Amino acid sequence: MNLSNCSGLLTGAGSGIGRALALALSAKGARLILTDRNLEGLRETREMAGGGNHLLIVEGDVTQADDRRKLRQVAETEFKRLDLLINNAGVIAVMPHGEIGDEMLERQVAVNLVAPMALVRDLLPLLISSRPSRVVNIGSMFGDIAFPLFAAYSATKFGVRGFSDALRRELAPDGVGVTYCAPRATKTPASKQFEHLVGPFAMKFDSPETVAAQIVGAIESDARSVYPMGPERLFVLVQRLFPFLVDGSLIGQFKRAKL
């Protein structure tokens, strides 16, 4: 996909990976609708990207039908088409599964899984009319390798991966491509919740800018998926072929984390 003058919508653009994506896409010449619940964060993102009429900000919650309807109206009015939809908004809770409350369970499922599914459905006529166009779903390495303390979050990201696979096959005849992105742990405000697990779980953190560059490269090459460079790719293969090996490793690391 050629990003110059591309018309796109990016969720979760007020911080973290979303902000880095907004800056990277803007530098490529894309015209963007940036949305987030954090209006101040959106304003900061737009200012960091140099402002300008090519960046529109829309405060909203993608789990709400009225806010999704507003996003579609802005895309129709301002762009009259939609070449690119990036489902990036997400929430995470890191804790023993026996301690998580209903509200946080429902919030993770609503933001991480249901909202992307609903937003694709709501914007599909615009995407099809702009073909070739592309949907980009931001998943996680936790959507391939499920860690203790991340059970609900991992479940939503496994769901995003499955949704992406099915959607890719369904929309191919309509000229709409689908890219699934699985970044590893990324240094964002949300990652502060599990900084104490970096040592026990031998985690590696990427910067939002590194992740954004990988995602933008995948969009430009119309890639099916993008995974981080490094041993994680091998771990994904081991998880699929020999899951018991991953069980033993993660259970041992979890035990050490509890000491």
Q: Phi/psi at 102 (nearest 5 deg)?
A: -60, -40
Confidence of residue 253 (pLDDT cuts 50, 70, 90): confident
Tell me what pLDDT residue 228 has: 87
Residues 6+ apart with CB under 8 A from 182: 139, 140, 141, 143, 144, 157, 161, 225, 226, 227, 228
Question: Whole-number mean pLDDT of the chain?
Answer: 93
Q: What is the pTM of this model?
A: 0.92
Domain residue spans in the chain? 7-230
For 175-202, what is the mean pLDDT? 83
Does the active-site annotation cover 227?
no
For 103-120, what is the mean pLDDT? 98
Tell me what pLDDT residue 237 has: 85
Tell me what pLDDT residue 192 has: 72
Tell me what pLDDT residue 74 has: 97
Please give the share of the chain, as a percent, with pLDDT higher than 90: 76
* Whether the predicted pLDDT of 78 surpasses 80: yes
Tell me what pLDDT residue 7 has: 97
Tell me what pLDDT residue 161 has: 98
Using alpha carbons only, what angle is made at residue 20 by residues 123 and 134, rounded to the nearest 5 degrees? 30
Q: Which of 162, 153, 138 is nearest to 215 (CA)?
A: 138
Q: Which of 68, 69, 86, 73 is nearest to 32 (CA)?
A: 86
Tell me what pLDDT residue 195 has: 73
Residues 6+ apart with CB under 8 A from 142: 150, 153, 154, 157
Tell me what pLDDT residue 26 has: 96
Report how far residue 249's alpha carbon sits from residue 197's, in angstroms, rounded to the nearest whole number. Answer: 15
CATH number of 7-230: 3.40.50.720
Whole-number CA gyration radius for the chain: 18
Residue with structure tokens 């699929």?
240
Catalytic residue among 142, 147, 150, 153: 153
Q: Phi/psi at 132 (nearest 5 deg)?
A: -75, 135
For 26-49, what is the mean pLDDT? 96
Tell me what pLDDT residue 259 has: 52
Report how far residue 132's alpha carbon sits from residue 249's, in angstroms, rounded to the nearest whole number. Answer: 43
Mean pLDDT check: name the lowest of 60-69, 104-113, 189-198, 216-225. Answer: 189-198
